[in-house]
């Protein structure tokens, strides 16, 4: 059994530990001010799921900020060649050609980088699995949304929403309730995953 009330702080501590390991190899990387802000956060430009690889991606942005380098454009979606240069310093591989909308955001760990960070990445993965198991068991009882579970109005707490073609976004439920957010590819509204699942089974 996982305690939902304690899992997020534990995961936040593991994120801070993993970030510190990256700092050990790249001392100019600034501190991670709020590791808990990455929990439940998703960005199609920076990686949909939280992982050690995603953490390295965020570290590239951190070093770019420390150097005063503008590494993205188009409201942070397009990752340019300055992002790419720092990503290579951190041991991240990349496709040859940029993605039309997100540029060089789809970076992956090189074999050497995987070896360097293996113990830390495995430790973080265990914490992530515990967090996912805890939150999944909580949502099986009823769909109340993260905002209701944590007793807030929903400000800043995002949940996953999907469209018919399978693309996904993270959105504050109250924002989605104001008006539909329509996918540019399939022209259907994004819907919160857990709400769709519960609605289909009831």
| Residue boundaries of the structural domains of the chain | 6-140, 159-192
Q: What is the DSSP letter of 43?
A: B
Give the span between the Cα atoms of 14 and 89, in whole angstroms. 23
Give the model's pLDDT for residue 182.
Answer: 82
pLDDT at 5: 40
**Rounded distance between C-alpha atoms, residue 84 and residue 89, angstroms:** 9
Residue 63 CB-density burial (10 A; 0-12 exposed, 13-18 middle, 19+ buried): buried
pLDDT of residue 147: 36
Note the pLDDT of residue 134. 78
Q: Are 134 and 2 in contact (CB under 8 A)?
A: yes
Q: What is the pTM of this model?
A: 0.63
Mean of per-residue pLDDT scores for the chain: 77
The whole-angstrom separation of Cα 30 and Cα 133 is 31
Question: pLDDT by residue (tens digit) across 68-83?
Answer: 999 999 888 899 999 9
pLDDT at res. 27: 95
pLDDT value, residue 177:
67
- Structure tokens that stand for 27 in this block: 């001392």
Residue 162: both structure tokens together: 């999907």
Alpha-carbon dihedral sign for residues 176, 172, 105, 193: negative
CA atoms of 144 and 93, how far apart (whole Å):
40
The pLDDT value recorded for residue 65 is 93
| pLDDT of res. 89 | 96
Chain center to CA of 17 = 17
| Structure confidence at residue 161 (pLDDT) | 80
- Convert 168-191 to b/e letters by CB count within 10 Å (16 or more is b): ebebbbeebeeeeeebeeeeeebb
Q: Which residues of the chain are modeled with pLDDT < 50?
A: 1-6, 139-156, 195-202
- In 3D, which of 190, 53, 181, 49 has the Cα closest to residue 116? 53
């Amino acid at each position: 059994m996982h305690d939902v009330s304690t899992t997020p702080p534990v995961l936040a501590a593991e994120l801070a530990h993993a970030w510190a390991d990256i700092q050990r190899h790249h001392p100019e990387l600034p501190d991670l001010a709020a590791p808990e802000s990455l929990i439940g956060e998703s960005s199609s430009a920076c990686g949909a799921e939280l992982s050690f690889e995603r953490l390295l991606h965020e570290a590239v942005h951190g070093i770019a900020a420390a150097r005063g380098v503008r590494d993205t454009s188009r409201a942070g979606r397009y990752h340019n060649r300055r992002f790419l240069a720092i990503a290579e310093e951190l041991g991240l591989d990349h496709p040859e050609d940029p993605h039309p909308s997100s540029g060089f955001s789809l970076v992956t760990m090189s074999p050497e980088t995987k070896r360097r960070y293996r113990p830390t990445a495995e430790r973080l993965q265990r914490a992530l699995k515990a967090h996912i198991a805890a939150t999944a068991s909580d949502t099986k009882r009823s769909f109340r949304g993260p905002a209701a579970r944590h007793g807030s109005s929903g400000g800043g707490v995002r949940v996953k929403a999907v469209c018919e073609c399978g693309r996904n976004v993270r959105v504050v439920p109250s924002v989605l309730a104001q008006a539909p957010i329509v996918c540019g590819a399939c022209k259907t509204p994004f819907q919160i995953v857990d709400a769709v699942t519960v609605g289909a089974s009831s």
